Structure 1
Amino acid sequence: MASKMASGEFDEQFLTCPVCMLHFRDPRVLPCLHTFCKECLQEWATKQQPMECPTCRTQGRPGGAGVPCQVCEGKAEGARSWCVQCAILLCESCTNTHRRFPTLKGHQIVTQENLEASEGVPGTFQRKAFCPKHEDQVLTFYCEPCQTLVCVACTVVDHRPGDQHNPVEIGSVAERKKRDLQKLIANVEPREKDVQATLKEVERELFEFPTSADAAIEQATAYFDQLISLLQDRKEEVVSEIGSHRQEVGKCLETQKEAMEFELAGLTSASEFCKQALEHGSDVHVIEVEGQARQRLEELLTTPSDLTTRPSQVVFSEGTAVAEFGDVVTRAGCVRVKVKVDSSNCSVEIKPAVEGFSNVSLLNTVDQNGQLCSVLKDDVTATLTDPSGQAVPTQLQEKGRGLWEISYRPEVTGNHRLEVKVNGGSVEGSPFDVRVQSGDTPVLTIGRWRGSGEGEFSYPSDVAVDMDGNIAVVDRGNKRVQIFDAKTGQSLRSFPVDCEYPRGIDIDSSGQFVVTFVDNVSDTGQEIRVYSQEGKLTKTLKPDRLRYPRGVAVLQDGRMVVADGGKESCLLLQPDGSLIRDIGKGQLQQPFFIALDKSRDLFFVTDSFGFKVFVFDLQGTLQFTFGKRGGNEGEFSKPQGITVDPAGNIIVVDQSGRLQVFGPDGTYLRTVARVRGEFPQGIALTPDNHIAVACYENNRVELYRYK
């Protein structure tokens, strides 16, 4: 029962104003002992003269005089005091009697003077709470484990201190709870301010919303009215054209009809004349009319009317089918609700930029809850300026909900400034520094020196791009394959390849790593190993004809082409390693790396000592070659790594470091860059258009922008 005294019902009963139904704000008590907020009573008083209690309609003002005693009902004198616990007004005589009762000695008596001075019930005059179990005992303790208010007697009987009970003096508990409430209030105040500010913003937006909706309706109406007008104009043009053709064709047909009727009448007349002469005329008559009939018939036959086909119909053709036009119409106009975007929470990812290349930075637009959201293109602006302050043209394209590409093509090197705004507000961190490098500067370098630690290399020989777009590197000296994030260069994982001298690498259609190995000591140590995506060895292939395998390329069906320096040819192998055919024997001198053009069933192989690239089909027939020894455009100084872009263009790096691009037919197109690292080996093209180059002597992988 003690817990009931501490319940919310008790608190609400004495803390709620009956008028506003809220907790008391500056409470005031009427002579009838009903309590109300000061403001509520003031407002009530303006409506009620004389003043009446809103609850019981008793007349009187707070702390007013002349109220009868509620015990003797005013028989002795007027009320002079108030018992807080009994909640009744007492005259002086009844007050003295009230104080003499032993069971009422703990009650708090407030005099009329104090009551009037307080203008209500101050905190010191609040009624004491008595224990419901021990009615003469005041609740003075709080049992923490039970979360219950108790009296002194309870601490002796039901809540004796121990393991299960811990009565604490109520004042200290109240102070602690007051501090807790103050902390909560301190936390509430900032939120309250935010809610108030947002409420004002919502009210403003609610006020402006009909205007924007009406404007959208006007724009949509004008847009579709224009479309309707265009269709109506086109309809009138077509109908008018049909009418013109109708007149022209009709006149033409009428003219042709008249000419044919005239010719037909002449032919019929002449023919009938001749028939009559032949049937009924004498020989003399036939001879006499023959000349005349001949002349008439010859005239008719030499000037015949035109019997060729004339336009006889006017036909309407739809041009654009109704169904196709319907698809276009469904895409005409787009309605979107403009979301309030917090520009300070939006973010921009600045990517390395290279002069003369198309580069992109990424913008994420988010709402006030931090969720990606779409915004109107007109609400996003991106301005790029070069070191001299000149503007560089930029383009914005939304690639997905809240994901934007900001593309630009800087023409000079140096520090550029990119300012990005959303809904007129600057994105956090804007303007951003965009460092534009020359084409010969790698946009990303992985590894810095020789070592065996994470992200370090010992003679990297080849690279490939896995199914996730990450870069796999053959770390030859450390006998392992390392996987790196192609965008950041961060080391993701590695796995060992316990065999001498791993050389080339490629990824098969299932995402497995195919690695070639060279044993410089034993002729039987040459092999090809296949590893799962997790780096587990799945199979080992040892083709009989393999002598010095280098680059490898895997076809979609699992077959593979291996450049064999010892055989001076390329081997086309089955997935199990068995030989299908030997390709290029007698033509190749030192084949190094291989690239596939799967769309044409061709493969390209660099011949380091031949200073050219050989192109074969899978049947082993040489299709063409390109390149020769030299330092000019399209020439090679020992070609090494090779790869093919999605358009079929061929990218080749030679020993001098030049990254050259050739068309699908081997025609020289351009030079992308000159690799800074020494002795470049295998290369690969990443999904975001970077060429990864394994720099053998410098123990690093460099990425160059490819356009």
Structure 2
Amino acid sequence: MASKKQESAEVDEKFLTCAICMLHFRDPRILPCLHTFCKQCLQEWATKQQPLECPTCHKRVSLSEQSVGRLMSNYYVNKLLDFAAVKKGAEPGVPCQVCEGKEGGSRVWCVQCAVLLCESCTNTHRKFPAMRGHQIVTKENLEASEGVPSNFQRKAFCPKHEQQVLSFYCEPCQTLVCVDCTVVDHRRSDQHNPVDIVAVAERKKQDLQELLLKVEPREKVVRATLSKVETEILELPTMAEAAIEKATEYFDELIALIQDRKEEVVKEIGSSLKRVGACLDTQKEAMEFELTGLIMASEFCKQALEHRSDVHVIEVEGQVRQRVEELLTTPTDLTARPSHVVFSEGTAVEELRDAVGQAGFVQVKVKVDASKCSLDIKPVVVECRNVSLFSTIDRNGRLCSVPKDDITALLTDPLGRAVPTQLQQKGKGLWEISYTPEVTGNHRLEVKVNGMSVAGSPYDVIVEIRDTPVLTIGGEGGGEVELSCPSDVAVDMDGNIAVLEAGNRRVQIVDSMTGQSLRCFLLDGEDSFGIDTDSSGQFLVTSENMFSAGKQAVFVYSKEGKLTRTVKPDCLQHATGVAVLKDGRMVVADNRQMSCLLLQHDGSHIRDIGKGQLQNPWFIAVDESRDLLFVTDTAAHKVFVFDLEGKLKFSFGKFGESDGEFNRPSGMTLDPAGSIIVADLNNRRLQEFRPDGTYLRTVAAVQAGSPAGIAMTPDGHIAVACFSGHCVELYRYM
């Protein structure tokens, strides 16, 4: 589409120039890609190349030399060419294009004939009857109009009836026709329907307007992106210089480290040389002193034996013996001393070469678009480590890597004080922004990439009291996301929460981030109590039938909720909590037998754990890294800790409501560091203990009633099954 500038009085020469011959267009024709070239140029081009490739956009077009003539003429370019000719013709000295005379006076332009006429030829032109309707444009007409006049265009004539203007459109044939054609070749019938060209043109204009509305948004995006790309091209040398500078600094630092190490080693060799030399000199001096004494004693003995009399031998033998014994009882240490100073490579050159090969790498990255970056702020709790997830996204909407130094995150509390933040990369384009606010209230988090604020920044961060659940799932009922008497929870392999509902006799899988129900499946047992997942993602559910010991079982369900097998150990009497080991073995609490049962994958009995020590075991947790089993006992108001061989290691807790005390401890889970989190049923709270059972803190006061089973989600929340509250509450832990 032509711009305003192209319709101005000063027509852009480039717009009127054919890209093939580099001259003004001669009979301009439009290719399907909407680029325009001279008809003759296209005919010549078609003889050289098939399929023809547009010289401008390289789109391929199947076009023969003959079919060039059937391409549409570019009327708009013709109009501009005519206008340019008229502008030039208005200048003095331009010859008439009919008589070729250069007599004085201005020239006029016949729009239909597309020629410049002098005054004499104009008068003659008007006398011909066939030309009386031709539009004549004078110099005064041009000066009176701004730009190209709207009516300044050649009339289109019928190729069959050359004196007739194309004024009708045959819709079935989709062809422009003249009035003669409507009588001869396109008479109105079932095959032809010629209509006035004005009505059709109006409809086509509306179609073009709709197309324009579709094109303009894309054009705007492409234009803006092109501007960014052009800016990036200009910035590229600067960025390369910065990268070279950074790489130079990095490798200079490595070289400096190597050089410093070299100097340290050379200095150490010199020090070792002095130390070993002094040691050897001392040893040498002692040996020489001893050797002198031994030689003298040896020579004295030889002389006495060879040259002394018996009397003299008897007299000196005692003195010689004393000296020899003295030399032999205090000998010089002849043990080998360090006598070589050598250099050992430590890290072999080949290994170091491999390591150096990994030192620094060049990445060609798509530039991050701050307007497309996103921040996911999760519920925030005071005095706890909270995490917001930040995604760096390029202009194509894809996650992209950026240097850590390019991202800044500033959190301020309600008084405007800065709260320390930490930034950690979790994957390509994925970052964790962590912080521990010390006060409640509305905080502000400002995030920037390359100094530009990301979309939505600064963000409002509402910090709530520690006992406020960050998410409450459910409410009494049997519908989707409704719960009835949830007794236990587990976290599946996807990080979702599996809720065991004793009231609805089902397991419902919910999203730990949103609380939305994902799926559910019905249970086969009665009075289900505990749930856990094995290493393959299957769910194990205990069934405690209080009226029949023969129906105790552990039901195993697939990830989709299909019952895969039923384990019915003969030794099981009243199953409560369950925990699955990595090798498939399981531990089941049995409060009728007042012990825990370690079972094989098939349910065969391995051993009892805690018999004679436990009174009413409920929930259990296993720390396989330390070979420990943790059991809550609601009757003893304690947590017992055994090894998997059944030996009691220690216990902690007692009845009460003070810190570290329990009133019926229930659910239990372990954090990655080995700390123990215990739900306190009647005190309605969560308490954290160190791995040795020492009280650490109260994590939260549970808002809903009867906290039972608990589990820790991958993002550091504790999910609490609230039995009488008919919900699951999530509390911030890490």
Listed one character per residue, the Cα deviations across residues 245-272 of structure 1 (whole Å, up to 9, x for unaligned) are: 3345345535644654465355335424
Matches within 5 A, 1:159-558: 159=186, 161=188, 165-181=192-208, 202-203=229-230, 205-250=232-277, 252-254=279-281, 256-257=283-284, 260-261=287-288, 263-264=290-291, 267-279=294-306, 281-283=308-310, 286=313, 307-319=334-346, 322=349, 325-326=352-353, 329-330=356-357, 332-333=359-360, 335=362, 340-448=367-475, 450-558=476-584
Aligned residue number for residue 130 of structure 2: 105
Alignment of 1:606-617 (within 5 A): 606-617=632-643
**Alpha-carbon distance, 1:401 to partner:** 2.0
- Kindly provide the CA deviation profile for residues 344-363 of structure 1, in whole angstroms up to 9, marking residues without a partner as x: 32221111122221111111
Letter matched to residue 566 of structure 1: R
Match of 1:659 among 675, 681, 686: 686
Give the SS at the match of 2:371: helix
1:8 aligns to 2:30 (yes or no): yes
Greater CA drift, 575-584 or 297-306: 297-306
Checking the alignment, whether the CA contact within 8 Å between 1:108 and 1:127 is kept in structure 2 is no
Q: Distance in 2 between matches of 1:420 and 1:652?
A: 37
Question: Is the contact made by 1:85 and 1:107 (CA closer than 8 Å) also made in structure 2?
Answer: no
**CA deviation profile, 1:23-57 (whole Å, cap 9, x unmatched):** 75984659xxxx5595xx6xxxxxxxxxxxxxxxx
1:345/1:427 contact within 8 Å kept:
yes
Q: Distance in 2 between matches of 1:646 and 1:630?
A: 28
C-alpha deviation, 1:408, in angstroms: 0.6
* Alpha-carbon shift at residue 410 of structure 1 (Å): 1.3
**Residue deviations 1:362-399 (CA, integer Å, cap 9, x gap):** 11122222222222323322121222322211111222
Given that 2:29 and 2:37 are in contact with CA atoms closer than 8 Å, whether structure 1 keeps it comes out as no
Higher mean C-alpha deviation, range 503-512 or range 232-241: 232-241
Whichever residue aligns with residue 634 of structure 1, its letter is G
Contact 1:443 1:705 in 2 (8 A): yes
> What is the rounded CA distance, in whole Å, between the counterparts of 1:64 and 1:500 in structure 2?
108
For 1:301 and 1:519, locate their aligned partners in 2 and report how far apart those are by CA, in whole Å. Answer: 90
Q: 1:28 to 1:554 in 2, by over 3 A?
A: closer
Q: C-alpha offsets along residues 421-469 of structure 1, whole Å, 9 cap, x if unaligned? A: 2222222222222222222222211123x21221112211111111111
Q: CA RMSD in A?
A: 4.2
Offset at residue 406 of structure 1 (A): 0.9
Asked if the contact 1:607/1:614 (under 8 Å) is kept, the reply is yes
Q: What displacement does 1:662 show?
A: 2.9
Q: Name the structure 1 match of 2:591.
A: 565
1:631 aligns with 2:681: no
Shift of 1:637: 0.8
Match of 2:50 in 1: none
Instruction: Name the CA shift for 1:641/1:150 in 2 (closer, same or farther; >3 Å).
Output: same
CA contact (8 A) 2:109 2:138 kept: no
- Alignment partners' CA distance in 2, 1:11 and 1:140: 27
Superimposed CA distance per residue, residues 97-135 of structure 1 (whole angstroms, 9 cap, x where no aligned partner): 98898xx83785455x73774489966463333333444
The reply to whether residue 646 of structure 1 matches residue 672 of structure 2 is yes
Q: Which amino acid aligns with 2:684?
A: G
| 1:133-176 C-alpha deviation (Å, 9 max, x unpaired) | 44444322233454332233444555455666543322233334
Counterpart contact for 1:69–1:78, Cα < 8 Å: no
Matched, 1:114 2:138: yes
TM-score normalized by the length of structure 2: 0.79
Higher mean C-alpha displacement, 230-239 vs 353-362: 230-239
Deviates more, 1:302-311 or 1:583-592: 302-311
- Aligned partners of 1:608 and 1:503: how far apart in 2? 15
Letter in 2 for 1:114: T
AA in 2 matched with 1:8: I
| Contact 2:447–2:457, Cα closer than 8 Å, also in 1 | yes
Q: Secondary structure at the match of 2:541?
A: strand
Q: Deviations over 1:214-242 (max 9, x none)?
A: 34433433443343234324323432332
Greater mean alpha carbon deviation, residues 299-308 or residues 231-240:
299-308
Deviations 1:613-654 (A, max 9, x none): 333444444444332222233322112112233333322212
- Equivalence for 1:675: 702
Q: Distance in 2 between matches of 1:624 and 1:221?
A: 58
Partners of 1:416 and 1:192 lie apart in 2 by 41
CA distance in 1, matches of 2:612, 2:267: 75
Contact conserved, 2:663 with 2:680, CA < 8 A, in 1? yes
Deviations 1:646-677 (A, max 9, x none): 33332221222232223334333332222122
Deviation at 1:305, TM superposition (A): 5.3
CA 1:36/1:175 → structure 2, altered by over 3 Å: closer, same or farther? farther
1:610 maps to a residue whose letter is A
Inter-partner Cα distance in structure 2 for 1:291 and 1:576? 90
User: Secondary structure of the residue that 1:345 maps to in structure 2?
Assistant: coil
**TM-score when normalising by structure 1:** 0.81
Distance 1:63-1:184 versus aligned 2 partners, 3 A rule? farther
Contact 1:657 1:680 (8 Å CA) reproduced: yes
**Distance change >3 Å, CA 509–CA 26, structure 1 → 2:** same
Offset from partner CA, 1:660-702 (integer Å, 9 cap, x none)? 2233343333322221221221111111121111111111111
Q: Take 1:69 and 1:616, find their aligned partners in 2: how far apart are those partners?
A: 112
- Residue by residue, what CA displacement relative to the aligned partner does 1:504-538 show, whole Å, maximum 9, x if unpaired? 22222222222223445555444332222222222
Aligned residues: 670
Say whether the 8 Å CA contact 1:68–1:78 is kept in structure 2. Answer: no
Kindly provide the amino acid, as one letter, of the partner of residue 474 in structure 1: L
Deviation readout 1:2-34 (Å, 9 max, x if unpaired): xxx9963799578999xxx9975984659xxxx
**Structure 2 unaligned residues grouped into runs of 5+:** 1-26, 42-55, 57-73
Distance 1:167 1:513, change over 3 A: farther
Q: Retained in 1: the 8 A contact 2:637–2:662?
A: yes
| Deviation for aligned residue 1:413 | 2.3
Q: Distance in 2 between matches of 1:607 and 1:63?
A: 109
Cross-structure match for 1:598: 624
Deviation string 1:44-99 (CA, Å, 9 cap, x unpaired) is xxxxxxxxxxxxxxxxx4476784674x7779999987765555567899889988
Question: Matches of 1:170 and 1:385 in 2, distance apart?
Answer: 69
Q: Relative to structure 1, is the Cα distance of residues 75 and 359 closer, same or farther in structure 2, using a 3 angstrom cutoff? A: closer
127-136 or 668-677, which deviates more:
127-136
